[in-house]
Structure formats: structure tokens, C-alpha cells
Chain A
């Protein structure tokens, strides 16, 4: 198809990779915003999620807040933040919008990971004399890792697709060639940039698949499989990664 040929022509044109507006720069910006937002989101959501999962308290509030956060339209939120904070703070504003997007899936992954653990395992840990702190670090956190990684993965994919927004406030990223492409009727440029974002998403997805293999102890994965086979259907549903596939991209 013609459009795709144009896209490849743009991607393969050496001129596209030179100078201050090179594709490489745009990819770098895009990844930087994504990484920063996911890291901040994780720093906020993981401790809170673990606290909720460990104590079993505050869940309703967290569910409510996270649900409302999911309903926020990132597109409007960015305009709102920049209008309130001013253009000098457009960077933090953009990151905040992306963080708000990353938090709900990570939070859900963090507390769901702890909640699906068989209560008897926790009781056993307590029985052998572990402190609450030890229970959290040595039992709950490793066992909750698969769901947490699932949440991180979902959050990252949403953020990488939504970081397009940065282009609306002079922060570049791969959204810029898309916005330029629309304005210049240069669909090759636009489609090429969209394809790069998809490629980045695939790459990050693969990264999480590797992490999943490397970071999760063998025993946890084996235990998880048996758990899935024996648990009741509703319980098993909960053991699946939380639905992190919300779409909120621009």
C-alpha cells in the first residue's frame, strides 16, 4: 500500500535521522517521558498497593480513586494542567498526566498480587514466627510479583502510547511527527511515527516478558499454576493479570 511505502520511505530516509529533529531524538524523548512516568507511578502505586494488600484495609478507597483516575481524559487534563501551571511547568504537567495514567494498573497489580495469595501461606509464615515485615518481603512480595509485573506492563504500554501528547505542548516525542504529518498532509511521516510507537510498545512488551521469566522465582510460577488449577473459577479470574488494557492514547 502506498501509505505504508511512504511511511517506510520516511523511516529509511537518512535525512530523517539527522539534526536536532532526528527520529532518534524523538525516540529518546518518547522513551524518557515513558520511563519517568512509569517510575514515578510505580514509586507511588507499589507501596500503597502493598500496604492495601498486606493490611486488607483501604481497598475500597483505592478502587474508587483508581477508577476515577482511569476515567480522566488525558487530552483535556494536559491542557488543564498547562493552563493552571503555565508553560514553564509544561514538562512536569505532562509527566503528571502520564503518571495518573500509569498508577491505576500498577496499583491494581500490586494489591491484587498480595490478595490472591492463599491465606494459609500467610498464616504459616506467621506461625513460624516471621514478623509482619518479613511476611511482606519474604512471602507476599515474591508471590505477588507476577501480578505486579502484569500491572507494570499494562501501565507502561498505556503510557508509551499516550506520550504522544507531549507534542501538543512543545515537548517533542514521537507525537511530533504525527502532529506535523497531519498538518502537512504528510501521511508517510505520520504513519511512520505511529509504527515506531507500536514497535516501541512491542519492544517494551517483550522486555516485560523477559522480566517475568527472570524476576519471578521458579517456585512461585509452579505454585501459581497449581493454584490456578485448584482454585474456584472466580478465584482464578482474580489470579489472571488485572485488566490493564485500558486505552487512552492520543
Chain B
């Protein structure tokens, strides 16, 4: 482990870059998926189409996407924009389905009640459906966060600094500690992101706290989905 101590500065630096680059795709994925998921939920006939197209995006190997995006979008190969856009696409691919599922999880009786007391569909969406969809949405977001952190390591193939550097460089030089440090740091970031999002969920959706205590024996979707 002396290698880790000797190179601690570099590991920390790469970790910080990794965290910084992970945040944007997660946020973009969340924001873009709101309208997409809403359309898929609201107009039933579009659901299959949207979720299939989005599911297709998600099977594109990231290695290929990193190399194809620059010529298609006219951006430099080595730019962070390249990797950020690619990861945002994957985040949307995961999140749009979660969003549609989350909205579908809202009890229709409640939305009907909201309509009956005169909520406009805009207001009903933001004040009733969206908050009630929260727990399932949060589960999806946690999956997005973990996968984005993990996937960012591949960006090193096109030269975008991240913990992936410790994999390729360490493997070339035959330094096991380097690769191991990269794996451990990546997992740690992913777990911290996951915890932060879970706590944020409890804080923003206080009503899920009491429910959790009351229904311990029943499957908790936010847990099973990230498990």
C-alpha cells in the first residue's frame, strides 16, 4: 500500500475530477427524463415507443459512443463535453423509464381526487403526482448515480481524466495497487452518492419516513430497486 500513500495526491485529485464529472450527467438525466417520462405516462400509446427508443440508447457500448459523438456533434475528441454528453444520454435512458414507472405508481384515485377538487393538470402534476412518484423516482436516480460514477471510468479511453486513469496506467505499468485503488475509490464515490441521495430523499419526502417504519415487512421499492 506504499504506492497508494506515495500517490495519494494524484488519487485524491482524480477522485475530485471524477466527482465533478459525475454530477452533471446525473442532473441532466433527471431533468430531461421528467418531460419524457411524463409524455410516456400521459399518452399511453407513446409509452412503448419512447421506452423502446430510450432502451436502445442504453445498449450502445459506451466505448463506441465516446468515439462516435465527436464527429457527429462536431466537438473535440478530448473535450469533457464528449464524455458528459455520452453519460447524460445513458442517464436519460435509465431515468425516463423510472420516471414513467414512478408516475404509474401513483394511485389513480388520488389523481382523480385532485382533478375533482379543481387542480389544473399542470398543478396536479407538480403538487400531487410528482411528489407521490418521489420514492420510485429516487430509486431510479440512485441507480443512475451509481452507474454514472462507474461508467465514467471508461472515459479514460478518450483521454478524459477520471479514476479510469488508474486502471489503464496501472495495468500498463503492472502496478496492482493502482488498479485496486481505482476500483475502491470508484466504489466509494458510488456508495457515497447513493447514501447522499437516500438521505436527501428522506429529507425532501418526510412522509416516507413514517411509512417505512410502519411497513417494515413489505417490500420497500426504493430499496429493492437499488439493491
Direct contact of A and B (CB under 8 A): yes
CA distance A240 to B104 in the complex (A): 10
Residues of A within 8 A of B101 (CB): 237, 240, 243
Residues of A within 8 A of B168 (CB): 79
Chain B residues bordering chain A, tally (CB within 8 A): 70
Determine whether A42 belongs to the interface, using a CB cutoff of 8 Å to chain B. no
Is A72 in contact with B171, judged by CB distance below 8 angstroms?
no
Partner of A164, one of B61, B98, B166, B226: B61
Residues of B within 8 A of A194 (CB): 60-61, 64-65, 68
Determine whether A224 belongs to the interface, using a CB cutoff of 8 Å to chain B. no
Q: Given the known A-B contacts A70-B146, A77-B183, A237-B105, are A83 and B227 also in contact in the complex, defined by CB atoms under 8 Å?
A: no
Interface residues in A139-165 by Cβ distance below 8 A to B read 157, 160-161, 164
Residues of B within 8 A of A233 (CB): 105-107, 110, 132
The chain A residues found within 8 Å of chain B, CB to CB, are 3, 56, 62-63, 66-68, 70-77, 79-80, 82-84, 104, 107-108, 111-112, 115-116, 157, 160-161, 164, 175, 178-179, 181-182, 187, 190-191, 193-194, 197-198, 201-202, 205, 232-238, 240, 242-243, 245-250
The chain B residues found within 8 Å of chain A, CB to CB, are 55-56, 58-65, 67-68, 71-72, 90, 93-94, 97-98, 101-102, 104-107, 110, 132, 135-136, 139-140, 143, 146-147, 149-151, 153-154, 157, 163-164, 166-168, 170-171, 174, 176, 179-180, 182-183, 186-187, 190-191, 194, 211, 215, 217-221, 223-227
A–B complex contacts, Cβ < 8 Å, 21 sampled: A3-B72, A63-B227, A67-B146, A71-B146, A71-B186, A72-B150, A72-B187, A175-B63, A190-B67, A197-B59, A233-B110, A234-B218, A235-B219, A236-B107, A237-B105, A238-B219, A238-B224, A240-B101, A245-B94, A246-B146, A250-B63
